[in-house]
Structure 1
Amino acid sequence: MLDAQLVFIATVFMGVLGVGGLAYAAIAPALQKRQQNNKRMNVATGGKRARSARRGGAEVDQNAQRRKQVQETLKELDEAQAARKKKVSMRERIEQAGLEMPVRTFTIISAIVGLVTAGCVMLAGQTPFVGFLTGFAAGFGLPRWTLSFLTKRRLKQFTEEFANAVDVIVRGLKAGLPLHDCIMIIASEAQGPVREEFRELVEGQRVGITLEQGLEKMTHRVPTAELRFFQIVISIQQKTGGNLSEALGNLSKVLRERKVLQGKIQAMSQEAKSSAAIIGALPPGVMVLVYITTPDYINLLFEERMGNAMLIGGAFWMLLGVLVMKKMISFDY
């Protein structure tokens, strides 16, 4: 009886093993194929992730390197600008005014103006000391004031035309022209100081001066913020690459917005400027009217020592007030 039970259990066990073996034989290839597919997928995914990680790391390194180059370029330009601001030579001031004369000629003209003024004052009956002081003031101050006036007028003309020049360069770049050809178009078609400066830039490139060096010299002759922005954009694009037409397009937009802002500031500050002009003109105007109507009444200020001291003190306080009002109505943009 016991032997029959053992035989039955062994038979069932063998049957189960046989059925399991047949089932494993049927299912094993599919499982093996699935495992191989999963392994291949893991390998492919891992390789793709590794490549993505390497590519991402390369992009990060490239962006970091480009950012570093941009920072170094801006630092170099800032250092050059700070070095130029320390001292401006007379030759550079003459170039900024748009004049073509050596420093020696300017010095001779200043001396002639001073001598002529001193001679006229002494011929009018004044003492040689007064003539010397007047001649020195005229010879030293009048030519330099003229240079300053011509420089401001020239820089204003350049700024008004420069935005149009940048627009021409942007359209030329979008049309497929190289930057050098766009600059040549500005050198021949622009107006006023812009044409002269870009013509100087083109002539410099013909004799071997690089574009960056030419722009650096141009910023010496035209020290405006707009041209400095242009120089920064060109310098960064040449060192780090990028879409130059897009960068210059953004620059042109900024320049026009600055021009609009300048107009708004002038309109809003015009009332303050008119008030300052009226207040500044009242004392000398009243003095002239009193001198015309009753000269004996005001002659005491010129004849008496106390009157002279009062005139000097009044002129000092008047000058101080004018400078304060000028500072109050001057805006940076």
Structure 2
Amino acid sequence: MLGLVTLLIFAAWALGGYAFAARARARNEKKETLTRRVETVAGAGAETLASSVLKDQRLSRIGFLNALLGRVSLATRLVRMIRQAGLKRRVGEVLLYVPLLAFIGFMLVLLLGGSPLVALPVAAMAGSIPLIVIQRLRRKRALRFAEQLPDALDLVRAALQAGHAFVSALGVVADEFPDPVAEEFRRVAEEIRLGLPMRDALYDLAERVADENIPFLVVGVLVAQSVGGNLAEVVDNIGYTIRERFKLLRDMRVLSAQARLSGTVLTALPFLVALVMCVFNPEYFMPMFQSSTGRYMVGYALTSILWGHVVIRYLVKIRV
């Protein structure tokens, strides 16, 4: 009963916090709309216009939370991860889900009769769900970008050989390719057209995309721009290098397939054994959940399986 009351109190607190955040967001959006109208009527200068098209880098729409997160170095890393995942969320919005999910996981274990020692690792795993989702989206987007990049560079090379400027070649790729390559190349071209130096635009591209091939492109283009040379040939060589890295990576994944499969089997085997025992001999297995010692053992086993899976995945992950 006490756990249910605590859960209801936290739900009311969460709803109140969400209502406050929604009100602050509406107030900020209204203020931004009025500011844009005033600048339009007054005839904003080029500098003001350029600053208005820049992405809002505030960590939260709530003033004091934005100031607090600005002092935390971890928030900067999280901003980079969110940008690389292609999400349109602020750090404050993402961090709001971490304690919420952790508390829900903790209370669910207590309501089901579990002990606090079992509830703590469950709360930690539940609270890490938003970060895991962001990391998976980041990795998936980087993989799509890496798969499209060699063909995109071939089109850039062809456009350069046809007489287009580098910015125009990026625009051609943005028109012909799907996202995320089209989105990122279009943004680079627009930033350069708005007056941002090419070096800064390309560095920003490297920050937004979690692909290890982007530094090759950035360095090659900047060197060709500073010392001169055939930029089309440079882009062609970079595309060839990226393709060769992909071939090597595929070969290494084939060689490590057995180790990855073994890790998956070792992770799933305890759950399959527990399921079989619950179905065919529940009287033998249910004391694991009915006694405090059994619940401690289950919590320790789940934690060990999770960490073992993480270690195995780390060992079989090959970087080329």
TM-score higher than 0.5: yes
Distance 1:132 1:270 in 2: 34
Q: Does 1:329 align with 2:316?
A: yes
Written as runs of structure 1 = structure 2, the 5 A alignment for 1:170-189 is 170-189=157-176
Task: Give the Å deviation of 1:113.
Answer: 4.0
Task: Give the Å deviation of 1:240.
Answer: 1.7
Name 1:226's counterpart in structure 2. Answer: 213
Secondary structure of residue in 1 paired with 2:213:
helix
Q: Does 1:270 align with 2:270?
A: no
Aligned residue pair count: 248
Kept in 1, the 8 Å contact 2:115–2:295? The answer is no
Task: Give the Å deviation of 1:193.
Answer: 0.7
Task: Give the Å deviation of 1:181.
Answer: 1.0
Name 1:101's counterpart in structure 2. Answer: 89
Distance 2:253 2:118 in 1: 41
Distance 1:86 1:211, change over 3 A: farther
Q: Deviations over 1:122-152 (max 9, x none)?
A: 65566789778755642x3111111111111
Q: Deviations over 1:252-291 (max 9, x none)?
A: 1111111222222222222332222222211221012112
- Report the TM-score, using the length of structure 2 for normalisation: 0.68
Distance 2:111 2:296 in 1: 26
Amino acid aligned to 2:178:
Q
Distance 1:146 1:233, change over 3 A: same
Q: Does 1:89 align with 2:69?
A: no
Distance 1:164 1:97, change over 3 A: same
Amino acid aligned to 2:93:
T
Distance 1:230 1:142, change over 3 A: same
Q: Deviations over 1:217-238 (max 9, x none)?
A: 1111113111111001011112
Q: Which of residues 188, 191, 199 in structure 1 aligns to 2:178?
A: 191
Q: Does 1:284 align with 2:271?
A: yes
Kept in 1, the 8 Å contact 2:118–2:299? The answer is no
Kept in 2, the 8 Å contact 1:212–1:234? The answer is no
Amino acid aligned to 2:89:
M
Written as runs of structure 1 = structure 2, the 5 A alignment for 1:43-62 is none
Secondary structure of residue in 2 paired with 1:236:
helix
Kept in 1, the 8 Å contact 2:139–2:210? The answer is no
Over the aligned positions, Cα root-mean-square deviation in angstroms equals 2.9
- Unaligned 5+ residue runs, structure 2? 1-72
- Mark the structure with the bigger radius of gyration: 1
Distance 1:191 1:87, change over 3 A: same
Moved more, 239-248 or 316-325: 316-325
Amino acid aligned to 1:166:
L
Q: Which of residues 171, 188, 191 in structure 2 aligns to 1:204?
A: 191
- Report the TM-score, using the length of structure 1 for normalisation: 0.66
Amino acid aligned to 1:219:
A
Amino acid aligned to 2:90:
P
Q: Deviations over 1:46-100 (max 9, x none)?
A: xxxxxxxxxxxxxxxxxxxxxxxxxxxxxxxxxxxxxxx9995222211111011
Amino acid aligned to 1:241:
G
Distance 1:195 1:114 in 2: 37
Taking only the aligned residue pairs, the percentage that are identical comes to 25
